[in-house]
Amino acid sequence: MPRTRRSLATAALIAFATILAACSSSAADEGKGGSDGTEPAAATTTIVTAAPVGERANGPAVPSAGCGTSTQQPATKEKQFIDDSDRWFLLTTPTELDRDEPLPMVLDFHGLAEGADVHAMMTKLPEYGQDNGFLVVSPHGTGTPVRWAVDPDTKANADLRYTQDLLDQVEAEQCIDISRVYATGLSNGAFMSSVVACTMADRFAAVAPVAGLIRPDGCDPSRPVPVLAFHGTADPILLFNGGVGDRLSNVLPGDGDATKTEEPPLPAADLDGAGYPEAAQEWADGNGCTGEPTDDDLTDTIIERTWDCPPDAVVEFLIVEGGGHTWPGSEFSNNLADIMGATDMGTDANEVIWPFFQRFQLPEA
């Protein structure tokens, strides 16, 4: 399935570079609210209420080494470095923080050229974690533009080693429930959250890639990992059925006042075709799910595709009809519609992802 493996990973390195300037220039404006100085309108929230799945979903916490010793203050958002390294990440703590209570943690991987700071503005997951009682780590990649390597070879991939070191350090310094650590991310960050599911299934209880689910060659998780994925049928950057959209030629920096070409219409999305539907099917197959998938209307604009899966290996693929290369519910994404396509403002991705994560814990050792 070449279009959902390495070629898509390469595509993201090209595609997200085109929005670097737009994201950077929009970051300050997004933080200030609307043009009239008011706060931007909040998204209409759709909450997916998921019944607990599996005996361990409500099992006892597994405290990390940092419980009882952490000096972290509540409601903070700090830049921290990996020991003896120039690699860094943002750590955001809940508003109410008991240093003796092991709390869940979510790693939120940025897209290509975003970086941790811009991506945190886009998803607002750090603020959501503060309000809902879990820590959020916003890792920062390397290179120019900043990015993630998505080779599942742990020995060859420095970003996977960085992720392992990050987990070790945070779990040693904070009070984390190590049975409830999760990963999400957008685009190149969605690729990265897919890859950690392949390579670190013993560290992540579930993952939720947004606009970029992949199952790369060599993916061999030590246990089935629950997956929740989003992808828009009108994604102009990473096309729903694979490949890169023609919008790139119009947003890449050009010479002088070069005339932009008229973009052809996006190809019609085949909900059962190649690309991201196929990647979701591969995860379902790998997790031991059976039968044909079932599609239900979750909202007026989102189709929820599910399979008959083991209770601890659920795969759900959310098809955002008319959605672009965006984080549903993000005002930041919505302000970049000319580049990234439409944002579904009727659904808050955070309100979908967090209830999904709460259903799962790592199995007892």
Task: List the domain boundaries for the chain.
Answer: 2-31+43-63+71-249+264-358
User: b/e for 236-252, b at 16 or more Cβ within 10 A?
Assistant: bbbbbbbebbebbebbe
User: Using CA atoms, how far apart are residues 314 and 359, in angstroms rounded to an integer?
Assistant: 10
pLDDT value for 33: 36
The backbone region for 54, taken as left when phi is positive above 0, alpha when psi lies in -120 to 50, beta otherwise, is: left
Whether the upstream peptide bond of residue 145 has omega within 30° of 0, thus cis, is yes
pLDDT value for 57: 63
Q: Under DSSP, is residue 144 helix (H, G, I), strand (E, B) or coil?
A: coil
Which ranges of 33-176 would DSSP assign to H, the alpha helix?
115-123, 125-132, 158-173
How big is the chain, counted in residues?
365
pLDDT value for 71: 80
Place of tokens 């009682």: 133
pLDDT tens for residues 126-152? 999 999 999 999 999 999 999 999 998
User: Using CA atoms, how far apart are residues 317 and 295, in angstroms rounded to an integer?
Assistant: 9
The backbone region for 291, taken as left when phi is positive above 0, alpha when psi lies in -120 to 50, beta otherwise, is: left
- pLDDT tens for the chain, residues 1 to 365: 333 343 444 444 444 444 433 333 333 343 333 333 333 334 443 434 333 333 346 789 999 999 988 787 888 999 999 998 999 999 999 998 887 899 999 999 999 999 999 999 999 999 999 999 999 999 999 999 999 999 988 889 999 999 999 999 999 999 999 999 999 999 999 999 999 999 999 999 999 999 999 999 989 999 999 999 999 999 999 999 998 877 655 555 554 445 566 777 888 999 999 999 999 999 999 999 999 999 999 999 999 999 999 999 999 999 999 999 999 999 999 999 999 999 999 999 999 999 999 999 999 87
pLDDT value for 72: 78
CATH topology (fold) of 2-31+43-63+71-249+264-358: Rossmann fold (3.40.50)
pLDDT value for 49: 37
pTM confidence score: 0.85
User: Using CA atoms, how far apart are residues 293 and 296, in angstroms rounded to an integer?
Assistant: 10
